[in-house]
């Protein structure tokens, strides 16, 4: 049986526990949730998938599916750090990568539309691509230096009508080779194209012969032509100047071909290898001189030009 002191202590503890419980349950607390905005850090974390879709913060590798922070991708020269997939690169970024800072001078920047067939909506499409890319055509040509060596650089732009080759594109590339021949300096071309431009019909196909003749003019002066194949290099570009380089280099896993794989399969009636029309397949079959990763491209080009430098 409890004495008076023990009963007092027990009652005191019971009242203390009751007060503590009342402090937490008697008054409901309402927390006002802050609406997330696109500027909040929580928005990025909680809406990861939606951010991937609109490319605000992340890019998805088309090869392995890895999500890469856009800033990290840019610093890695648009190469996936997980699977080494060489993604398409902005034409101006590639020019900056392959030339000494501040040395690139663009030539033939202003161009006029050639529309021999009066193809429906062609002029409107060209205008929209000019506004979208802030470029005048599917290739940028100019003169720059690479570790001090002066050379002509042409970079095709897959963001402009998939780098298709029309009359203006052929003119700019041909003039670049003629400029190299006239000034006795080497030429480097980075190809990326879906082929000839159908809106110009036969005129676009004639660019194959015109650019090939221009390559010959440079060769007659004894100056080297380095052809860099980037993803994708197909159609009439592959069938002309892209495969006429004194040294032909490709980035890893680049799609290289003339007709599409399905068309080739139907034409010859045979199954094709899994890696058909890849840079690695072309290398194994003697169509390339070397496959070079993007991070090593500038140094490789410099070494080749230095070896062929004329005193």
- Say what the pLDDT of residue 57 is: 84
Per-residue pLDDT at 21 exceeds 50: no
Distance CA 42, CA 21 (A): 34
Rounded Cα gap, residues 277 and 293, in angstroms: 18
Q: What is the pLDDT of residue 13?
A: 62
Supply 253's token pair: 């896993």
Mean pLDDT of 22-29: 43
Q: How far apart are CA 143 and CA 292, in angstroms?
A: 23
Q: 225 near 244, Cβ under 8 Å?
A: yes
pLDDT score at 30: 44
Average confidence (pLDDT) over 88-93: 94
Please name the residue that has the structure tokens 């440079």: 218
pLDDT tens digits along 107-129:
999 888 899 999 999 999 999 99
How much is the average pLDDT of 306-310? 86
β-strand pairing of 67-69 with 58-60: antiparallel
pLDDT digits (tens, 9 = 90+) for 185-234: 999 999 999 999 999 999 999 999 999 999 999 999 999 999 999 999 99
27-31, 40-44, 114-118, 222-226: segment of lowest average pLDDT: 27-31
Q: Return the structure tokens found at 31.
A: 């927390």
Predicted confidence at residue 27, as pLDDT, reads 41
End-to-end CA distance of the chain: 115
Q: Is 51 or 177 the better-scoring residue by pLDDT?
A: 177
pLDDT at 299 over 90: yes
The pTM assigned to this predicted structure is 0.81
Handedness of CA 124, 211, 307, 104 (dihedral sign): negative
Query: Is residue 262 predicted with pLDDT exceeding 80?
Result: yes
């Amino acid at each position: 049986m409890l004495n008076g002191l023990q009963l007092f202590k027990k009652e005191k503890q019971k009242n203390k526990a009751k007060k503590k419980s009342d402090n937490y349950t008697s008054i409901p607390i309402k927390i006002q949730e802050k609406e997330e905005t696109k500027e909040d850090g929580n928005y990025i974390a909680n809406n990861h998938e939606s951010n991937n879709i609109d490319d605000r913060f992340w890019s998805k590798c088309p090869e392995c599916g890895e999500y890469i922070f856009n800033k990290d991708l840019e610093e890695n020269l648009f190469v996936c750090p997980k699977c080494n997939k060489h993604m398409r690169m902005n034409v101006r970024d590639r020019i900056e990568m392959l030339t000494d800072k501040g040395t690139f001078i663009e030539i033939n920047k202003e161009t006029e539309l050639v529309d021999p067939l009066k193809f429906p909506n062609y002029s409107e499409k060209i205008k929209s691509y000019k506004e979208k890319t802030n470029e005048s055509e599917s290739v940028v040509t100019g003169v720059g230096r690479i570790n001090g060596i002066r050379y002509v650089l042409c970079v095709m732009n897959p963001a402009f009508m998939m780098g298709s080759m029309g009359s203006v594109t052929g003119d700019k590339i041909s003039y670049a080779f003629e400029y190299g021949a006239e000034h006795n300096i080497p030429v480097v071309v980075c190809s990326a194209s879906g082929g000839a431009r159908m809106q110009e019909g036969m005129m676009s196909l004639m660019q194959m012969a015109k650019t090939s003749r221009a390559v010959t003019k440079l060769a007659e002066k004894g100056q080297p032509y380095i052809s860099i194949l980037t993803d994708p290099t197909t159609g009439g570009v592959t069938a002309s100047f892209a495969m006429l380089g004194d040294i032909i280099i490709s980035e890893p896993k680049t799609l290289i071909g003339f007709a599409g794989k399905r068309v080739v399969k139907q034409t010859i009636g045979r199954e094709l290898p899994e890696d058909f029309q890849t840079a690695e397949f072309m290398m194994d079959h003697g169509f390339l001189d070397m496959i070079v990763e993007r991070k090593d491209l500038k140094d490789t080009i410099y070494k080749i030009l230095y070896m062929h430098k004329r005193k």
